[in-house]
Amino acid sequence: MQFAGIKDKRIVFEIEDEGKILINTHEVPYEIEETETDDYDVKMRAKLSVFEGILTGTQDPNMAFMMGKLKVDGSTGLAMKLASVLED
């Protein structure tokens, strides 16, 4: 997964009933770790099945957001960039 154009950001994926994953793009290689942090540029929260659908192409991230299956906190512009990355 390439995060081209997404530099110096802290991205949190919160998987309901599972935990949070932080992707830190401040340095290459990016740091990916489990986290409990509330220090992020954007946090995307959904059930595991929704994230799996987005990654496999069976769930459109924009539709998931509009239907309330995917919740975004923080920079919506960054979330939109991430959506296009996750769809590829």
Band (pLDDT 50/70/90 cuts) for residue 83 is confident
Residue 65 lies in a domain: yes
CB proximity list for 63: less than 8 A, separation 6 or greater: none
Residue 4 lies in a domain: no
**Rounded distance between C-alpha atoms, residue 52 and residue 40, angstroms:** 22
Q: Are 19 and 13 in contact (CB under 8 A)?
A: no
Domain ranges, residue 28:
10-87
Residue 5 lies in a domain: no
Query: Does the pTM of the predicted model rise above 0.75?
Result: yes
Q: What is the pLDDT of residue 88?
A: 61
Q: What is the pLDDT of residue 58?
A: 96
Which CA distances in Å does 28 have to 9, 11, 40, 54?
Answer: 12, 15, 18, 25
